[in-house]
Amino acid sequence: MVAGKVLVVDDDEKITTLLRAYLSKEGFEVDVAANGEDALRKVPQFQPDVLVLDIMLPGIDGIEVLRRVRQESPTYVVLLTAKADETDKVIGLTVGADDYVTKPFSARELTARIRAIFRRMRGQDEGISSPLTFRTLRINPARREVWRGHSSVSLTALEFDLLYALAAHPGRVLTREQLLARVWGADFFGDARVVDAHIKELRRKLGDHAAHARLLQTVRGVGYRFADEPS
């Protein structure tokens, strides 16, 4: 039985060959692409559950690939970034990446992270939670839909999970570490600042701009809380 489908996009043949070997050994169906054009052709054909995407690609770069993929697909996206490219990480998360891995990386660790992603996906399917209705927001986990007033809000899978984790405990402060454990998984070993980038993008999509009355409030030095009132 196939554990899931992974598309690896990188112009370094050593990386794609290594990751194909590791992921295939774990039972994943794997395809690879060497440039942005090839990736954009393969995503609708292969329909990966997880896309491992290098930012520095010849031709169409990884950020543009991500932007176009996000217009059509909710697939989980892990960016591969150079160690010094902090700006690229932030841009990638803003455009819709779910996570990032810094080069050089361990193929074994990346494979473990992808295994964890699929465990969370299966857990979400098996444990559908109750809808949440607030004064300004409605969240339906069964259909993975969010409405603010009469307007639907389009979120990535991870953005939805992050919002639901906060909204399920209105008024309660959750630390970055708690959010990482609940949304990314207890075995996540990336940068805790990934939470901040996704909160910023959630605020943008929710139209949550007024600092004095935000739905997603920052508690300095601690974490975040959801501040809307149940209806």
Residue 3: count of CB within 10 angstroms of its CB: 15
Q: What is the pLDDT of residue 173?
A: 96
C-alpha 70/C-alpha 77 separation (Å) is 9
- Same structural domain, 117 and 163: no
Which of 125, 153, 169 terminates a domain? The answer is 125
Q: Which of 80-94, 106-120, 168-182 has the highest mean pLDDT?
A: 168-182
| 156: confidence class by pLDDT, cuts 50, 70, 90 | confident
- Find the mean pLDDT for residues 159-175: 93
- Same structural domain, 32 and 140: no
Query: What is the CATH classification number for the domain harbouring 196?
Result: 1.10.10.10
Which token pair is 205?
Answer: 């999509």
Q: State the DSSP code for 30.
A: E
Within a domain: residue 45? yes
Parent domain of 41? 5-125
CB 53 within 8 A of CB 39: yes
| 216: confidence class by pLDDT, cuts 50, 70, 90 | very high
Which token pair is 100?
Answer: 């990032």
- Same structural domain, 113 and 221: no
Within a domain: residue 231? no
- Same structural domain, 167 and 210: yes
- Same structural domain, 10 and 63: yes
Q: What is the pLDDT of residue 86?
A: 65
pLDDT at 128 over 80: no
Residue 190 identity: G
Of 192, 199, 49, residue with least CA distance to 124: 49
- Give per-residue pLDDT as tens, 52-98: 999 999 999 999 999 999 888 878 899 998 766 666 666 777 777 88
pLDDT at 124 over 70: no
Q: How many domains does the chain have?
A: 2
Q: Is the pTM of this model over 0.75?
A: no
Cα dihedral 206/211/217/220 (nearest 10): 140
- Same structural domain, 134 and 106: no
Q: What is the pLDDT of residue 153?
A: 92
Residue 189: count of CB within 10 angstroms of its CB: 12
Which of 98, 125, 152 terminates a domain? The answer is 125
Q: Which helix (H) or strand (E) holds 88?
A: helix 86-95
**Between these two residues, 106 and 187, which has the higher pLDDT value?**
106
- Same structural domain, 93 and 13: yes
- Same structural domain, 115 and 177: no
- Find the mean pLDDT for residues 42-46: 95
CB 35 within 8 A of CB 60: yes
Q: Is 25 exposed, middle or buried (0-12, 13-18, 19+ CB in 10 A)?
A: exposed
**Between these two residues, 99 and 4, which has the higher pLDDT value?**
4
- Same structural domain, 197 and 115: no
- Same structural domain, 133 and 99: no
Q: Which of 35-49, 132-146, 157-171, 190-204 has the highest mean pLDDT?
A: 35-49
225: Cβ contacts below 8 Å, ≥ 6 apart: 166, 170, 171, 172, 173, 174, 216, 217, 219
Query: What is the CATH classification number for the domain harbouring 34?
Result: 3.40.50.2300
pLDDT at 138 over 70: yes
